Structure 1
Amino acid sequence: MLQVCLNGGRGPGDAAGVPVSPVAMAEAAAAAVAAGADEVHVRPRTPCGSGTLSPRVLAETLTAIRAAVSVPVGVTTDARSEPDPVRRLARVRSWTVLPDHAAVHWHEPGAEALASALLDRGVAVEAVLRADSDGPARFLRSPLAGYVPRLRVEAASAGEAHALLAALARSPHACARPVLLHGRDAAAWPLLRLARRLGLSARIGLADTLLLPDGSPAGDNARLVAAALATTVAA
């Protein structure tokens, strides 16, 4: 499975192709899926461009993207979109339109309560486990570990990724879970190739890298997806 992450924490100031509005996200999603992406992940944005968990903005974003594609659509719920854990939880509980899945960053305060609320609402949780944090250890101790349908492993190098994947493989709760492996910036392409070699799901998009494998500017998410699929074939 190849997930495209359309924007993340980046904006048009990083690259002109980073989508911010619901319409732009829908257009980017359609192009990325046409290029071969299997699912879409986005950070909904306010009209001024800030990340948000607002029910109104989320509904507008999901409605626009789902009108353009028929693949699963997920969102982030991290502290950059809402720093206050209590308010973050309240926002999620007030959503009127639900994503197919939502990423929960397990190293952040309130992650377990947030994941529980999402699961209660029927939203699949993608547990984000960063190799440079205490998130993986906290997740493996969590009573929810056996109920989270997918793990997203984020690492800065192949060595970090191998170490974290080995620790997860030793856990009875985590070993049977599908894993999506990805990196950012300089680690994006090496970890995408590693994910393919290991038979894991992968992620690419302007949220992770602005560059194609040859170092040239990608310009948009669709070109990154096409390059990721070509890289997979070449590997």
Structure 2
Amino acid sequence: MLQACLNGGRTRDFHAAVPFTAAELAQDAAQSVAAGAQELHVHPRGADGAESLEPDDVAEAILAIRTIVPGVPVGLSTHWRIPPGGKARQSPIEQWTVLPDYVSINLVEEDAAEMISLVLGKGMGVEAGLWSVSDAERFIGLPDAAKCLRILIEINEQEAQESLAAATGIISVLEHADFTLPILLHGDEASVWPMFREAMARGYDSRIGLEDGRLLPSGTKAADNADIVRAAVLLARVY
């Protein structure tokens, strides 16, 4: 499965094509799906352009995307820094009435177990975000771990050998615990394409898009999210 991560917390200083508004997210989603993406990961924005978990902002983004690409799973981020930030972000999530298909929850965050319980209780899927071996060890000990939709291995290390070591360390913990949930492996900036290749070689899912980086495998700047997705589809055919 190839997921397109359309915007994250990126600004237009990073890339002029980063989508902000619900309409922009929907249009970008349509182009990315046409290019080969099978799922979507987005960060809704408020009127000020900042990331938002407010029910109205979430509903507007999800409904706009589902109108233009019906049936394509849509996921959101719940990371610690999205306003109101910290544990307080649980309050707007509790108020969501238009629900994404899944959300990502980072195990490095203090309230990860609470968040997983909250999200599962509302009927949404959980992508359990693991950044390190310690995250993986924490995750496998959670009572709700096996109820999650998938494991999201997120590699932030930039140097090639360090990023590969981080990924293999997490994978080793999961294999030792005999976890059989689907795995999505992806990198960030310099590790985007190395981790994409590693995911393809291992038969894992992956994601690609302007949230993670703006470069094509050649090192040239991508035109937009669809350009990155097309490059990933072509690269995946090698494996």
Q: Which amino acid aligns with 1:5?
A: C
Aligned pair 1:213/2:217, yes or no?
yes
Contact 2:137–2:173 (CA under 8 A) maintained in structure 1: no
The offset of 1:134, in angstroms, is 3.4
Rounded to whole Å, the distance in 2 between the matches of 1:130 and 1:227 is 25
String of CA shifts for 1:60-107, please: whole Å, max 9, x gaps: 000101111121000000112135433211111100100000001111
Q: Which amino acid aligns with 1:67?
A: T
What corresponds to 1:169 in structure 2?
Answer: 175
Equivalence map 1:77-92=2 (5 Å): 77-82=78-83, 84-92=85-93
Rounded to whole Å, the distance in 2 between the matches of 1:219 and 1:114 is 36
String of CA shifts for 1:157-200, please: whole Å, max 9, x gaps: 1221112111111114xx21000000000000010011011000
Q: Which runs of 5+ in 2 are unaligned?
A: 158-162
* 1:64 match: secondary structure: helix
Rounded to whole Å, the distance in 1 between the matches of 2:219 and 2:84 is 34
Rounded to whole Å, the distance in 2 between the matches of 1:48 and 1:76 is 18
What corresponds to 1:60 in structure 2?
Answer: 60
Q: Which amino acid aligns with 2:220?
A: S
Number of paired residues? 232
What corresponds to 2:184 in structure 1?
Answer: 180
Contact 1:51–1:80 (CA under 8 A) maintained in structure 2: no
Contact 1:126–1:148 (CA under 8 A) maintained in structure 2: yes
Rounded to whole Å, the distance in 1 between the matches of 2:83 and 2:204 is 30
Q: Which amino acid aligns with 2:6?
A: L
State the identity %: 40
Taking structure 1 as the reference length, what is the TM-score of the superposition? 0.95
Rounded to whole Å, the distance in 1 between the matches of 2:194 and 2:217 is 9
What corresponds to 2:48 in structure 1?
Answer: 48
What corresponds to 1:203 in structure 2?
Answer: 207
Q: Which amino acid aligns with 1:193?
A: R
Contact 2:3–2:206 (CA under 8 A) maintained in structure 1: yes
String of CA shifts for 1:120-158, please: whole Å, max 9, x gaps: 111000000002x73222212211112112100012312
Equivalence map 1:1-235=2 (5 Å): 1-70=1-70, 71-82=72-83, 84-131=85-132, 134-155=134-155, 156=157, 157-172=163-178, 175-235=179-239
Which range is displaced more, 9-18 or 27-36? 9-18
Rounded to whole Å, the distance in 2 between the matches of 1:149 and 1:65 is 21
Label 1:103 to 1:136 Cα distance change in 2 as closer, same or farther (>3 A): same
* 1:134 match: secondary structure: helix
Q: Which amino acid aligns with 2:226?
A: A
Q: Which amino acid aligns with 2:198?
A: L
Rounded to whole Å, the distance in 2 between the matches of 1:89 and 1:164 is 27
String of CA shifts for 1:22-81, please: whole Å, max 9, x gaps: 000000000000000000000011111111100000000001011111210000001121
Q: Which runs of 5+ in 1 are unaligned?
A: none
Rounded to whole Å, the distance in 2 between the matches of 1:122 and 1:140 is 21
Rounded to whole Å, the distance in 2 between the matches of 1:153 and 1:192 is 11
Rounded to whole Å, the distance in 2 between the matches of 1:83 and 1:198 is 38
Taking structure 2 as the reference length, what is the TM-score of the superposition? 0.94
